[in-house]
Protein backbone atom coordinates (compact mmCIF):
# COMPACT_ATOMS: atom_id res chain seq x y z
CA UNK A 1 0.00 0.00 0.00
CA UNK A 2 2.87 2.33 0.77
CA UNK A 3 4.43 1.54 -2.61
CA UNK A 4 1.32 2.66 -4.51
CA UNK A 5 0.72 5.66 -2.25
CA UNK A 6 -2.54 4.48 -0.68
CA UNK A 7 -4.14 7.32 1.34
CA UNK A 8 -4.72 5.13 4.42
CA UNK A 9 -1.12 4.00 4.88
CA UNK A 10 -0.37 6.46 7.71
CA UNK A 11 -3.52 5.40 9.55
CA UNK A 12 -2.67 1.70 9.25
CA UNK A 13 0.84 2.28 10.59
CA UNK A 14 -0.68 3.54 13.83
CA UNK A 15 -2.84 0.43 14.23
CA UNK A 16 -1.90 -2.39 16.59
CA UNK A 17 -2.70 -5.93 15.36
CA UNK A 18 -4.95 -7.85 17.77
CA UNK A 19 -6.07 -11.44 17.94
CA UNK A 20 -9.82 -11.83 17.38
CA UNK A 21 -11.63 -12.78 20.57
CA UNK A 22 -14.48 -14.88 19.18
CA UNK A 23 -16.66 -16.57 21.83
CA UNK A 24 -16.31 -19.91 20.04
CA UNK A 25 -12.52 -19.69 19.56
CA UNK A 26 -10.66 -22.96 20.06
CA UNK A 27 -7.11 -23.82 21.11
CA UNK A 28 -6.34 -24.88 17.54
CA UNK A 29 -5.55 -22.12 15.07
CA UNK A 30 -6.24 -24.33 12.04
CA UNK A 31 -9.79 -24.96 13.32
CA UNK A 32 -10.46 -21.24 13.80
CA UNK A 33 -9.15 -20.49 10.31
CA UNK A 34 -11.42 -23.14 8.83
CA UNK A 35 -14.46 -21.76 10.62
CA UNK A 36 -13.71 -18.22 9.46
CA UNK A 37 -13.27 -19.36 5.87
CA UNK A 38 -16.41 -21.50 5.76
CA UNK A 39 -18.94 -20.59 8.42
CA UNK A 40 -18.17 -16.88 8.52
CA UNK A 41 -18.99 -16.42 4.84
CA UNK A 42 -22.48 -17.82 5.44
CA UNK A 43 -23.33 -15.96 8.63
CA UNK A 44 -21.60 -12.57 8.40
CA UNK A 45 -24.11 -9.71 8.44
CA UNK A 46 -21.75 -6.73 8.86
CA UNK A 47 -21.90 -7.09 12.64
CA UNK A 48 -18.92 -6.02 14.81
CA UNK A 49 -16.02 -8.43 15.22
CA UNK A 50 -16.86 -9.12 18.87
CA UNK A 51 -20.31 -10.39 17.83
CA UNK A 52 -19.11 -12.87 15.20
CA UNK A 53 -20.57 -15.94 16.86
CA UNK A 54 -21.12 -17.86 13.58
CA UNK A 55 -23.68 -19.96 15.47
CA UNK A 56 -21.01 -22.09 17.17
CA UNK A 57 -21.08 -23.03 20.83
CA UNK A 58 -18.09 -22.46 23.13
CA UNK A 59 -15.32 -25.06 22.93
CA UNK A 60 -16.66 -28.32 24.43
CA UNK A 61 -18.00 -31.71 23.32
CA UNK A 62 -21.11 -30.15 21.75
CA UNK A 63 -18.93 -27.83 19.67
CA UNK A 64 -16.88 -30.82 18.47
CA UNK A 65 -20.04 -32.39 17.03
CA UNK A 66 -20.96 -29.07 15.41
CA UNK A 67 -17.55 -28.93 13.74
CA UNK A 68 -17.88 -32.51 12.47
CA UNK A 69 -21.29 -31.69 10.98
CA UNK A 70 -19.91 -28.54 9.35
CA UNK A 71 -16.97 -30.39 7.82
CA UNK A 72 -19.33 -32.94 6.28
CA UNK A 73 -21.59 -30.16 5.02
CA UNK A 74 -18.82 -28.19 3.34
CA UNK A 75 -17.15 -31.31 1.98
CA UNK A 76 -20.38 -32.21 0.22
CA UNK A 77 -20.65 -28.67 -1.17
CA UNK A 78 -17.09 -28.80 -2.50
CA UNK A 79 -17.50 -32.23 -4.06
CA UNK A 80 -20.83 -31.38 -5.68
CA UNK A 81 -19.85 -28.05 -7.21
CA UNK A 82 -19.80 -27.84 -10.98
CA UNK A 83 -16.15 -26.78 -10.80
CA UNK A 84 -15.21 -30.25 -9.54
CA UNK A 85 -14.23 -32.18 -12.66
CA UNK A 86 -14.72 -35.44 -10.73
CA UNK A 87 -18.28 -34.66 -9.62
CA UNK A 88 -19.84 -37.40 -11.80
CA UNK A 89 -17.40 -39.93 -10.36
CA UNK A 90 -18.40 -38.92 -6.83
CA UNK A 91 -22.10 -39.19 -7.62
CA UNK A 92 -21.58 -42.62 -9.21
CA UNK A 93 -19.65 -43.82 -6.14
CA UNK A 94 -22.40 -42.60 -3.81
CA UNK A 95 -25.10 -44.32 -5.87
CA UNK A 96 -23.09 -47.54 -5.89
CA UNK A 97 -22.50 -47.34 -2.13
CA UNK A 98 -26.24 -46.90 -1.49
CA UNK A 99 -26.91 -50.29 -3.13
CA UNK A 100 -24.38 -52.16 -0.98
CA UNK A 101 -25.73 -54.38 1.88
CA UNK A 102 -25.41 -52.83 5.37
CA UNK A 103 -22.79 -55.32 6.56
CA UNK A 104 -20.59 -54.58 3.56
CA UNK A 105 -21.09 -50.83 4.09
CA UNK A 106 -19.62 -51.10 7.58
CA UNK A 107 -16.58 -52.93 6.22
CA UNK A 108 -16.12 -50.27 3.54
CA UNK A 109 -16.35 -47.50 6.14
CA UNK A 110 -13.59 -49.10 8.20
CA UNK A 111 -11.28 -49.30 5.18
CA UNK A 112 -12.32 -45.92 3.71
CA UNK A 113 -9.32 -43.97 4.99
CA UNK A 114 -6.82 -46.40 3.46
CA UNK A 115 -8.69 -46.42 0.13
CA UNK A 116 -8.95 -42.62 0.02
CA UNK A 117 -5.24 -42.34 0.79
CA UNK A 118 -4.41 -44.68 -2.09
CA UNK A 119 -6.58 -42.69 -4.51
CA UNK A 120 -5.14 -39.34 -3.44
CA UNK A 121 -1.57 -40.61 -3.78
CA UNK A 122 -2.31 -41.94 -7.26
CA UNK A 123 -3.87 -38.61 -8.24
CA UNK A 124 -0.92 -36.62 -6.91
CA UNK A 125 1.48 -38.60 -9.08
CA UNK A 126 -0.29 -37.23 -12.14
CA UNK A 127 -0.46 -33.64 -10.86
CA UNK A 128 2.35 -31.07 -11.36
CA UNK A 129 4.07 -29.96 -8.16
CA UNK A 130 3.20 -26.34 -8.83
CA UNK A 131 1.80 -24.16 -11.60
CA UNK A 132 2.09 -20.48 -12.57
CA UNK A 133 4.87 -19.84 -10.06
CA UNK A 134 5.74 -16.47 -11.56
CA UNK A 135 2.18 -15.22 -11.01
CA UNK A 136 2.36 -16.16 -7.35
CA UNK A 137 5.74 -14.48 -7.00
CA UNK A 138 4.64 -11.15 -8.48
CA UNK A 139 1.22 -11.05 -6.81
CA UNK A 140 2.30 -12.19 -3.39
CA UNK A 141 5.92 -12.71 -2.45
CA UNK A 142 7.12 -9.43 -3.91
CA UNK A 143 4.67 -7.34 -1.88
CA UNK A 144 6.46 -4.90 0.47
CA UNK A 145 7.59 -6.52 3.70
CA UNK A 146 5.95 -3.62 5.56
CA UNK A 147 2.56 -5.04 4.53
CA UNK A 148 3.22 -8.42 6.13
CA UNK A 149 4.39 -6.63 9.26
CA UNK A 150 0.71 -5.90 9.90
CA UNK A 151 -0.44 -9.52 9.74
CA UNK A 152 2.51 -11.62 10.96
CA UNK A 153 4.26 -11.82 14.32
CA UNK A 154 7.76 -10.62 15.12
CA UNK A 155 9.32 -13.77 13.63
CA UNK A 156 7.47 -13.28 10.32
CA UNK A 157 6.29 -16.88 10.61
CA UNK A 158 4.47 -17.57 7.38
CA UNK A 159 4.95 -20.96 5.83
CA UNK A 160 2.63 -23.69 7.05
CA UNK A 161 3.75 -26.68 9.07
CA UNK A 162 2.63 -30.18 8.04
CA UNK A 163 2.26 -32.35 11.12
CA UNK A 164 1.63 -36.10 10.83
CA UNK A 165 -0.98 -37.28 13.35
CA UNK A 166 -1.74 -40.72 11.95
CA UNK A 167 -0.23 -42.74 9.09
CA UNK A 168 -0.76 -40.72 5.92
CA UNK A 169 -2.93 -38.12 7.73
CA UNK A 170 -1.55 -34.60 7.89
CA UNK A 171 -2.85 -31.47 9.58
CA UNK A 172 -1.67 -28.11 8.27
CA UNK A 173 -1.30 -25.06 10.48
CA UNK A 174 0.99 -22.06 10.87
CA UNK A 175 1.29 -21.41 14.61
CA UNK A 176 0.83 -23.25 17.88
CA UNK A 177 -1.23 -21.58 20.59
CA UNK A 178 -0.62 -23.24 23.96
CA UNK A 179 -3.76 -21.68 25.40
CA UNK A 180 -6.18 -18.81 24.83
CA UNK A 181 -3.79 -16.34 26.46
CA UNK A 182 -1.01 -17.02 23.95
CA UNK A 183 -0.08 -14.11 21.70
CA UNK A 184 0.76 -14.44 18.02
CA UNK A 185 4.45 -13.99 18.86
CA UNK A 186 4.20 -16.81 21.44
CA UNK A 187 2.48 -19.07 18.92
CA UNK A 188 5.09 -18.41 16.25
CA UNK A 189 7.92 -19.21 18.63
CA UNK A 190 6.21 -22.39 19.83
CA UNK A 191 5.70 -23.55 16.25
CA UNK A 192 9.33 -22.90 15.34
CA UNK A 193 10.40 -24.93 18.35
CA UNK A 194 8.17 -27.80 17.19
CA UNK A 195 9.86 -27.59 13.77
CA UNK A 196 13.24 -28.13 15.43
CA UNK A 197 12.00 -30.95 17.66
CA UNK A 198 10.31 -32.86 14.81
CA UNK A 199 13.34 -32.35 12.56
CA UNK A 200 15.69 -33.37 15.41
CA UNK A 201 17.89 -30.33 14.79
CA UNK A 202 21.04 -30.36 16.90
CA UNK A 203 23.71 -27.72 17.45
CA UNK A 204 26.38 -28.19 14.79
CA UNK A 205 24.07 -29.47 12.04
CA UNK A 206 24.07 -28.08 8.50
CA UNK A 207 20.48 -27.00 7.83
CA UNK A 208 18.94 -26.25 4.42
CA UNK A 209 15.67 -24.29 4.56
CA UNK A 210 14.11 -24.47 1.08
CA UNK A 211 11.36 -21.92 0.55
CA UNK A 212 12.33 -19.99 3.67
CA UNK A 213 10.04 -16.98 3.02
CA UNK A 214 11.05 -14.18 5.42
CA UNK A 215 13.51 -16.47 7.18
CA UNK A 216 11.53 -17.22 10.32
CA UNK A 217 12.97 -20.73 10.75
CA UNK A 218 16.35 -19.88 9.24
CA UNK A 219 16.90 -17.03 11.69
CA UNK A 220 15.40 -18.95 14.62
CA UNK A 221 17.81 -21.87 14.18
CA UNK A 222 20.77 -19.54 13.66
CA UNK A 223 19.98 -17.73 16.92
CA UNK A 224 19.13 -20.83 18.97
CA UNK A 225 21.93 -23.10 17.72
CA UNK A 226 25.08 -20.99 17.42
CA UNK A 227 27.13 -23.79 15.83
CA UNK A 228 24.62 -24.61 13.09
CA UNK A 229 25.31 -23.56 9.52
CA UNK A 230 21.93 -22.53 8.10
CA UNK A 231 21.21 -21.86 4.42
CA UNK A 232 17.87 -20.34 3.45
CA UNK A 233 16.55 -20.37 -0.13
CA UNK A 234 13.76 -18.11 -1.42
CA UNK A 235 12.83 -16.66 -4.80
CA UNK A 236 11.76 -13.22 -3.58
CA UNK A 237 13.82 -10.05 -3.69
CA UNK A 238 11.91 -8.48 -0.78
CA UNK A 239 12.17 -11.59 1.38
CA UNK A 240 15.90 -11.86 0.73
CA UNK A 241 16.37 -8.18 1.63
CA UNK A 242 14.49 -8.70 4.92
CA UNK A 243 16.61 -11.71 5.88
CA UNK A 244 19.84 -9.89 5.09
CA UNK A 245 18.67 -6.91 7.16
CA UNK A 246 18.01 -9.20 10.14
CA UNK A 247 21.42 -10.83 9.74
CA UNK A 248 23.19 -7.47 9.51
pLDDT digits (tens, 9 = 90+) for 176-206: 777 767 788 888 888 899 889 888 999 999 9
Q: How many domains does the chain have?
A: 2
Domain identity same for 234 and 173: yes
Domain identity same for 76 and 137: no
- Taking residue 191's Cβ as centre, other Cβ atoms within 10 Å add up to 24
pLDDT band at 60 (very low <50, low <70, confident <90, very high): confident
Please tell me whether the overall predicted TM-score, pTM, comes out greater than 0.75 for this model. no
47, 80, 113: which is the final residue of a domain?
A: 80
How many residues belong to the chain?
248
| Domain endpoint, select from 59, 80, 101 | 80
The boundaries of the domain holding residue 164 are: 133-247
Mean pLDDT of the chain: 80
Cβ contacts of residue 85 below 8 Å, gap of 6+?
none
* pLDDT score recorded for residue 44: 57
- Among 18, 45, 80, the domain boundary falls at 80
Average pLDDT of 39-65?
Answer: 70
Evaluate whether 184 touches 29 at the Cβ level (below 8 Å): no
**Alpha-carbon gap, residue 11 to 207, rounded angstroms:** 40
* Per-residue pLDDT tens digits for 123-155: 888 877 776 767 766 767 778 888 888 778 888
pLDDT band at 53 (very low <50, low <70, confident <90, very high): low
Pairing of strands 229-233, 206-210: parallel
Q: What is the CATH number of the domain that holds 153?
A: 3.40.50.150
**Residue 111 belongs to a domain:** no
Amino acid sequence: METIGHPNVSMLKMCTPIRLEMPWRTLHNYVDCGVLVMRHMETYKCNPIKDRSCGLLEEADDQKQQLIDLRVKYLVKILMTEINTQKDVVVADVDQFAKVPDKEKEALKKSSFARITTRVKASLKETPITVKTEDTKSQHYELPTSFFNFVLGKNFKYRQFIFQTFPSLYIVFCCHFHDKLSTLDDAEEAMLQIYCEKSQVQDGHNVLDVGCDWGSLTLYIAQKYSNCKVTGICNSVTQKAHIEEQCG
